[in-house]
Chain A
Amino acid sequence: MSFESVTPARYARFIPQRYRLEAGYCRKCDRYFFPPRLVCSCGCEDMEIRKLPDEGKLLTYTIIHTPGSQFQDERPFAIGIVELAPGARITTQIADTPFDEIKIGMKLKVEFRKIQSVGEGGVLAYGYKVVAL
């Protein structure tokens, strides 16, 4: 029994988010949604698309030693929650940064990286990671 966690349609659907950080913005609440949504919790359905800034603050993080199989070759790796704009936070790997330099509150910038490869011949899945400034 095997499962494809990244299939072509699932992957391509969110390219504007994964590649360009396109988020939804509710004017009424002055807040962002990442990914964009059909409806804000205030009930507003008319949200505009806005690109998120590519720098943010680290809110929390961990070092993963036991990842899922697609990430086995990268362990151990750091992953954290970064706030890019009000309401818009991403759960993302912290790349190229020695673990002892990672501190809650540090500024990180978004970089385009390969996130997963589906086996030997499957799709290459790209997306966002963050690195220290």
Chain B
Amino acid sequence: MTDVGIIGYGASIPRRRIKVEEIAKVWGADPESYKKGLMLTEKSVPANDQDTISLSVEAAKRAIKRAGIDPKRIGSVYVGSESHPYAVKPSGTVVAEAIGAVPECHCADFEFACKAGSEAMFVGYSEVKAETVEYSLAIGADTSQGAPGDALEYSAAAGAAAFIFGLDKLVAKVLYTYSYMTDTPDFWRREYQHYPQHGGRYTGEPAYFKHVLGAGKGIMDMAGMKAEEIDWFIAHQPNGKFPLRAGKALGFPKEKIEPGWLVPKLGNTYSGASPIGLTATLDIAKPGQLILMVSYGSGAGSDAFIFEVTKRIDEVRDMVEKTRYQLEHRPIYLDYGNYAKFRGKILRAK
């Protein structure tokens, strides 16, 4: 069996931020209770000129730089998001043009709440494994929103992560993939609705934990591996608490989770969440180490991957801005008014 894996990766995180205090102030809420309850202090905010497409392009360019390939050889471009700028017209076509993969390229957008990104990764990986394409670009990106005054407003953030899959010059081999899904109405958005709705506490045990733990246990059983043998764990991160709890339940201590745990400062980047966590983990992983990533998308399902990092990580990791650097370097803090303007919550009268 030929090895298939990630040959390049990259993330794109907007520089603008808003603090929990700013949001709480407007709605008369207690910021401390949100900070404790969600284990997050601030989140990223896309500027007026940033959206799922633009962030995907920037993440893709970084992945291409690390992969060191001619983008014309990319045979498929997949973008997973729940905030595609067009309802009809794939985000992927713009990305494929921007990187120069056109015209001989498969392209499609993916949608499965927050696991649209890992869906794209699974399909991209599979195409390369089946050798129907030489390289595949898979992106998880979102600029999703929470309704004003809703709990989700504190965490709904923006970001993108891109991965190029190939057969040679691997940075991280894919050892196992696994998926666990059911029909579970924990969080959704009906067509023509601007904001999503959710089931409150129903989004916890019967939704997030059932599927994340189901996928985590499932893939480790399939691989015949125990948590002690795996070096790093990344889970979907709608808030700071859930991935730590899930990790603990699967046998992973906090130290193994921290490198890929960006949500306290980044917020929940939805389809970008676990993929961005993966890029941050790759940024610090050593050759030979194993990484378990479990995504989660409401509706509901989880995709799991076990990666083995190769020697090549040492050659590529410093080629572009690391993920943590983007998160921490020169944030621009917004007040609620500007945040509301950028996010289209208030609109200038025509």
Interface residues of A (CB under 8 A from B): 15, 19-20, 72-74, 93, 95-96, 98, 111-115, 124, 126, 129
Contacts and interface: CB of A to CB of B under 8 A. Distances in A.
The 9 closest A-B pairs by CB, nearest first: A113-B49, A112-B57, A19-B98, A114-B49, A96-B15, A113-B54, A74-B48, A19-B97, A112-B54
Interface of B: 15-16, 47-51, 53-54, 57-58, 61, 85-86, 94, 97-98, 100, 332, 341, 348
Main secondary structure of the interface of A (DSSP, over half): strand
B100 A126 contact: no
B348 A73 contact: yes
Nearest to B57: A112
A124 B47 CA distance: 15
B97 A15 contact: yes
Given A72-B348, A73-B348, A114 B100 contact: no
Contacts of A93: 49
A95 B49 contact: yes
A73 B48 contact: yes
Contact of A126 (B47, B94, B332, B348): B94
Contact of B50 (A72, A73, A98, A113): A113
A96 B47 contact: yes
Which residue among A19, A74, A112, A129 has the maximum number of chain B CB atoms within 10 Å of its CB? A112
Given A15-B97, A73-B341, A113-B54, A124 B49 contact: no
Nearest to B332: A96
Given A20-B98, A74-B49, A124 B57 contact: no
Given A112-B58, A114-B85, A124-B85, 13 more contacts: A15-B97, A20-B98, A20-B100, A73-B341, A73-B348, A93-B49, A95-B47, A96-B15, A96-B16, A111-B54, A112-B54, A113-B54, A124-B53
A96 B49 CA distance: 10
A73 to B, nearest CB: 6
B98 A114 contact: no
